[in-house]
Structures are given as structure tokens and as C-alpha cells.
Amino acid sequence: MTERVIHGLVAALMVAGCVPGDQGEIAVSAGDLDAYRTDVHPLLEASCGTLDCHGDFGRPLRLYAETGLRAADDLRGAPITDDELRADAASLLGVSPPPDSLEDHLALLKPLEVSERGLHHVGRDLWTSRADPAYVCLRAWLEGERAPLECAAAYDRVRLPDP
Amino acid sequence: MKTWALPLALIVAASATACLGTSPEEEARRALGPEPRLGGGGGEHDEDKGPEHRPGQPCLVCHGGEGGGGDDESTFVVAGTVFLFATDTIGVPDAEVLITDDVGHELTAVTNRTGNFMVERGGHGTAPVLRRDGRVSIPWDLVFPLSIAVRYGAEEKTMRNRAYREGSCAGCHAPRIGADSAGRVFIRDPVP
């Protein structure tokens, strides 16, 4: 019995510890992608997707962006691609196991101020409350809805300079 | 020999080699390699730890304070190298680096002979103090994210996004342009 346990441990170590896990496929519908591209991506590119934050292959929420991480070397300097946007949307949807309630989605809790029942975020608290336009924007998208005015208001706070 | 001895030894070996060893900071410092010879030509020369050394490399790997291996005399908040052209191996002197932080502090650093500049915490009063060797001392904490522009004479380039946490320019602006690097910080586009 002991022998089997130890052999099992070795196998688990080799499989789980040394081989990257298969994260599976997360479907992003055309509607989700259009809404992500128009409403959400500009905000996330400017406030989350820099190379020194979520524009990093190693982050749980990995984001591609024209000014950040690219999916391939030869895309540097090129406009964001649909494949990259789809991968960003899937990354957002898959950042935590499906929560019982949208309130518990990590993508909503991490940027939210801790005093508002948010979670510690190395990139500091970004949203002061659930009324923050960025929270409303992202939550609407995660619900399959849209909040374009809130998304635009949130982007205005972090607007990037023109190229 | 017990049949479980070999698997147990494998577990111990895997734990020791995969989970322990050198720290990420030590690995990063080691990856920088020896001091390159300035101006190209290959080879290496004695390590010069002055403000003109290792242009284009990620300064805070060694000069980042906590865990970064810096000392009190050479711990920087932000530091990097400005090049005239993206393909240059030595930076450009007298370029200005204009930094605005998240609470409105503004500072300007001026690059030294190898294009290096360094922002360090220190000094008194309210105004940054510019030194001739590429350093600028600031009497307040710099609050990320940072908006950054570089200016050389009448030419100016503004960074398209902000620096949210990385104090080394080369942390994102490595010499190689690619998926995870925007390439060197440079002033002038090549003539087509």
C-alpha cells in the first residue's frame, strides 16, 4: 500500500508539477467579442494590459494589447488582432472557476477596494466601489450585457495618448 | 534495497532541484552576464559600477533595493537608457526623460554619456535635484503609474502606455523587439 502511495506521489509530481496544465477552450461568442472589442478592451489595455502588469504570459489574467503583450513577435507595431481579442475575452471569462454569483468573479473582486469586500491586488485598489464605471462596465460584459456609457467614462480616466 | 527507496529519492531530488536553489533575483542578475565592452567589438572588460555602465540593461535588477542587490548609494526608483536609434548599442547623452506620476509629481532626468539616467529617492525640499552623472534625486515618493516622454532637442516621443510597476525601462524595452518587448527606448525613427 505504502509503495503504491509513493509511486502515486511520484506520478503526480511529474504530471502536475512539471507539465503545464491544459486550460481547455473557453468559447467566446461573436457578440461577446464585439462588445469586448468596443467597450472593454480600450479600458483594460490602458489600465491593466501593460507589459509590466497583465501583459505577461505568467499572469493568471493574461491580456494582449497593441501597446502591451503580443501573441507573436511579428505583431509588434500592428493593430490588435481578432485572435488576440478572443484570447483576452477567454482569459477574462476563465480567470476563476465559474462563481456561484457574479459578485464573486475574481476579475471584479481583484481591482475592487478591499474595504468594499474586494481582494488584495498587487496593482493596488483601482475601483472605489461597485458603482465605479469600470466595475459596471466589466460586470455588464460578464453578464452578457453592455454598458457603453460607463465603459466610455471609465476609459476617459485612463485615456492613452494618441499614437 | 526497499522498492520505495528509489521513488522517495526521486521526490526528494525533484523538490530540492525544482523548488529550491537560487532566487529569481539572483537568476536575473546572473542572466545579465559580464560587463559588455562599450561601443561593441565583443569581449568584456573590468566591471565598472559607475553610472555609465551597462547601458540598455534592466538597471533595477541590481539597483532595485529590496532583493535587488543595490546598496544605499545606488538604489533607484526608475532608471534606464535612451538611444538615438533603436539599433544603437550606446545611448545618447543629454536626452531629457520627462516623468509624471499618478499624483502629478513631475521630474526631468538628463541622460549621461552612455544614455543612462537614474531616479533616486533623496534630497530635501520639494524640487528634484538634477546631477551631472545622469542622476536625479526626488524628495517625494514616486507614485505609479508613470507617464513618460523622452526629448532630444526639438524631437520628442511620448510612451503610448504607462509604466504601472516596472522601474527598469529595459524590463519592457529589451533590445529585441518581440511579443513581450517593445524594443529599445529611442528618439529617432530610421530614414526609410
Rounded to an integer, what distance in angstroms lies between the CA atom of residue B180 and that of residue B15? Answer: 30
Q: In terms of Cα–Cα distance, which of A135, A133, A128 is closest to A113? A: A128
Average of per-residue pLDDT across A8-25: 45
For residue A7, pLDDT beyond 90: no
Cβ–Cβ below 8 Å for B161 and A160: yes
What is the band of A9 on the pLDDT scale with cuts at 50, 70, 90? very low
Distance from CA of A152 to the nearest CA of B (A): 18
Query: When comparing pLDDT for B72 and B15, which is higher?
Result: B15
Please state, for a pLDDT cut of 70, what percent of chain A lies above it: 85
> Shortest CB distance from A71 goes to which of B8, B161, B179?
B179
pLDDT value at position A122? Answer: 87
For residue B46, pLDDT beyond 80: no
Are B10 and B17 contacting, i.e. CB atoms less than 8 angstroms apart? no
The pLDDT tens digits for B102-159 are 999 999 999 999 999 999 999 888 899 998 899 999 999 999 999 999 999 999 999 9
For residue A12, pLDDT beyond 50: no
The pLDDT tens digits for B28-41 are 888 888 877 765 55
For residue A71, pLDDT beyond 60: yes
> Shortest CB distance from B11 goes to which of A10, A53, A69?
A10
Is B5's Cβ below 8 Å from some Cβ in A?
A: no
Distance from CA of A72 to the nearest CA of B (A): 5
Q: Tell me which DSSP letter residue B147 carries.
A: E
For residue B191, pLDDT beyond 90: no
Distance from CA of A100 to the nearest CA of B (A): 32
Rounded to an integer, what distance in angstroms lies between the CA atom of residue B55 and that of residue A40? Answer: 38
For residue A31, pLDDT beyond 50: yes
B-chain residues near A46 (CB < 8 A): 161-162
pLDDT value at position A19? Answer: 37
For residue A1, pLDDT beyond 60: no
Cβ–Cβ below 8 Å for B180 and A163: no
- CA A60 to each of CA A17, A95, B1, B11: distance values in angstroms, whole numbers, following the listed order: 17, 6, 44, 27
What residue in A sits closest to B182 (Cα-Cα)?
Answer: A76
Query: When comparing pLDDT for A24 and A69, which is higher?
Result: A69
The pLDDT tens digits for A80-134 are 999 999 999 999 988 877 777 888 999 999 999 999 999 999 888 899 999 999 9
Q: In terms of Cα–Cα distance, which of A37, A36, A90, A91 is closest to A59? A: A91
Q: Classify A67 as helix, strand or coil.
A: coil
For residue B27, pLDDT beyond 60: yes
Residue A136 lies inside a defined structural domain of this protein:
yes
What is the band of B47 on the pLDDT scale with cuts at 50, 70, 90? low
Please state, for a pLDDT cut of 70, what percent of chain B lies above it: 83
How many domains, in total, are found in chain A? 1
List B residues 164-183 in contact with A (Cβ-Cβ < 8 A). 164-166, 171-172, 177-183
According to the 3-state scheme, what is the secondary structure of chain A?
Answer: CHHHHHHHHHHHHHHHHHCCCCCCCCCCCHHHHHHHHHHHHHHHHHHCCCCCCCCCCCCCCCCECCCCECCCHHHCCCCCCHHHHHHHHHHHHCCCCCCCCHHHCHHHHCCECHHHCCCCCCCCCCECCCCCHHHHHHHHHHCCCCCHHHHHHHHHHHCCCCC
Average pLDDT over chain B, rounded to an integer: 86
Cβ–Cβ below 8 Å for A51 and B178: no
Residue A163 lies inside a defined structural domain of this protein:
no
B-chain residues near A83 (CB < 8 A): none
Range A61-84 burial, b when 16+ CB lie within 10 A, else e: bbbbbbbbbbeeeebbeeebeeeb
Range of A7-11, A64-68, A141-145, A156-160 with top mean pLDDT: A64-68
What residue in B sits closest to A8 (Cα-Cα)?
Answer: B7
B-chain residues near A59 (CB < 8 A): none
The pLDDT tens digits for A120-160 are 998 888 999 999 999 999 999 999 999 999 999 999 999 99
A147: containing domain: 26-158
What is the band of B23 on the pLDDT scale with cuts at 50, 70, 90? confident
Cβ–Cβ below 8 Å for B179 and A69: yes
C-alpha cell, B120: 533616486
For residue B188, pLDDT beyond 60: yes
Structural domain boundaries in chain B: 5-182
